[in-house]
Structure 1
Amino acid sequence: MTLTLWLTFLIAAVLISLSPGAGAVNTMSNGVRFGVKRSLPAILGLQLGYGAQIVLVGAGLGALVASSATLLTVIKWIGVAYLIWLGIQKWREPVLAVDENEEPDISPRRQFWDAALVNVTNPKATVFLIALFPQFLVAEAPHGPQLVTMGTTLILVDCLVMLGYALLASQLLRFMTTPRRQRQMNRLFGGLFVTAAVALASFKRA
């Protein structure tokens, strides 16, 4: 992959990560509640899910999933149900005392795996990667190193963008000094999770 081609891919990767989605909502929700540092497990979990999608496509299994209406539908509705569940949980989440030294009531492991499942159950990512990778693959060169380069680029860029989302969201902590404001914020993010579920439910392959 030439430098020019990689830079073009890098721009595409940045635009992909900046586009709002379930992963961004998950990151902002954690950023508001826990701050940047305590959002890191969730951000890493998102990258595990994203990496699984990349490996799936790179191994050729993504094409099988994308070509099977049944498999894609099953994965899609699992993702829809999970996002709705997250939205309900967020809506009902109790308020907390805003204290930077207070330990969160959810373990880092739970944050990690919840976030990983958000990305793993997103079939749009599979279909998108199948459409994206061929545009940048050089047919005459070995595909393995090219896929590793593109996959690494996507994950690193997404990590940086999610950190940015968490940082922006964490600034809202200073405004969450009353139970009323916390309930409003919880319901906002609960609604965003459900909105992401609706968007995923309406997704149809071209």
Structure 2
Amino acid sequence: MQDLLGVIDPAMVGFMFATTAFPGPNAVLMLSVGSRYGVRAGLPVLLGFGIGNAAAKGVTAAGMRWVASLDPMVIEVAQWIAIVFLAWFTIRILRRKAPLQAKGGAVTGKARSRPGQVVDGIGFQFCNPKVWVTGFAAAAIFCTPDVNEVGHAMSFAAVAFPCVLVGAGIWLVVGQQGARWLTAPMIVRGLDLMLVGLLALAAVPILFL
């Protein structure tokens, strides 16, 4: 338990949530399921998202910690790569002009013909490149030599699971509601700035600690 709590901190939670809530493959699929079938029908896929994402994040964190045990310089190099990723991701958020929207029961982007089950959600996470890229960035920032591989896997999975359920779940609900919540430009910009703030918080351990 000490290993688990030793890695988890507010910045890590903020990073996980920000990268999950920002529009991507998960958001498109959740919008599609929500607009076509409703929230209840999409819950199995959402649960699969949480399980698959948590597993991927845990594997990435454990792998990063193991490599770092062979050469501590790996973490330092990976952290600066993560800083570049955070800068790119922040710019992408600030330059976003409009959110994904569901209109007339259809969703812009690729959609599925059926809601899917838990296993479909799990498989989708392992095939989603954004999951692995953000997992690498999180591991580079938040891995610590004081915690072993198992501790890292448990802590990253424990944080990723609820963050994905909330972040992707928002898009599922928005899909059912016809995206009415995200039509006001001021609301969209406010949400974007909140995500940018969470990402900036995640960079603090590298730049100032």
Superposition TM-score tier, normalisation by shorter sequence: 0.5 to 0.7
- Residue identity matched to 1:77: W
Partner of 2:67: 61
Question: What does residue range 131-142 of structure 1 map to in structure 2 within 5 Å?
Answer: 131-133=146-148
Partner of 1:103: 107
Say if 2:28 is the partner of 1:25: no
Partner of 1:185: 191
Say if 2:164 is the partner of 1:163: yes
Native 8 Å contact 2:79 2:140 kept in 1: yes
Measured in 1, the distance between the counterparts of 2:191 and 2:204 equals 21
Question: What does residue range 115-126 of structure 1 map to in structure 2 within 5 Å?
Answer: 115-121=131-137, 122-126=139-143
Native 8 Å contact 2:28 2:110 kept in 1: no
Deviation at 1:124, TM superposition (A): 3.6
Residue in structure 2 matching 1:72, options 56, 70, 75: 75
- CA separation of 1:87/1:155 partners in 2, compared to 1, >3 Å: closer, same or farther? closer
Q: Can you list the C-alpha shifts for 1:145-191, whole angstroms capped at 9, x where unaligned?
A: xx4xx676446534431234326744676532323322332233234
Native 8 Å contact 2:56 2:132 kept in 1: yes
The number of residue pairs the alignment matches comes to 173
Q: TM-score normalised to the size of structure 2?
A: 0.59
Query: Which secondary structure state, in structure 2, belongs to the residue aligned with residue 132 of structure 1?
Result: coil
- Residue identity matched to 2:62: I
Query: Which stretch of the first structure deviates more once superposed, 86-95 or 162-171?
Result: 162-171
Higher gyration radius (CA): 1
Native 8 Å contact 1:17 1:161 kept in 2: no
Partner of 1:201: 206
- Residue identity matched to 1:34: A
Measured in 1, the distance between the counterparts of 2:130 and 2:191 equals 20
Native 8 Å contact 2:93 2:192 kept in 1: yes
- Residue identity matched to 1:133: N
Deviation at 1:81, TM superposition (A): 0.8
Say if 2:16 is the partner of 1:12: no
Native 8 Å contact 2:28 2:107 kept in 1: no
Measured in 2, the distance between the counterparts of 1:22 and 1:78 equals 15
RMSD: 4.3
- Residue identity matched to 1:131: D
Measured in 2, the distance between the counterparts of 1:17 and 1:37 equals 28
Query: Which secondary structure state, in structure 2, belongs to the residue aligned with residue 160 of structure 1?
Result: helix
Measured in 1, the distance between the counterparts of 2:102 and 2:49 equals 20
What are structure 1's unaligned runs of at least 5 residues? 1-7, 135-146
- CA separation of 1:53/1:34 partners in 2, compared to 1, >3 Å: closer, same or farther? closer
Query: Which stretch of the first structure deviates more once superposed, 182-191 or 80-89?
Result: 182-191
- CA separation of 1:75/1:167 partners in 2, compared to 1, >3 Å: closer, same or farther? closer
What are structure 2's unaligned runs of at least 5 residues? 32-44, 112-123
Q: Can you list the C-alpha shifts for 1:120-144, whole angstroms capped at 9, x where unaligned?
A: 13324332xx42239xxxxxxxxxx
Residue in structure 2 matching 1:88, options 70, 82, 91: 91
Native 8 Å contact 1:53 1:120 kept in 2: yes
Native 8 Å contact 1:176 1:182 kept in 2: yes
Native 8 Å contact 2:61 2:152 kept in 1: no
Measured in 1, the distance between the counterparts of 2:75 and 2:160 equals 26
Measured in 2, the distance between the counterparts of 1:197 and 1:65 equals 24
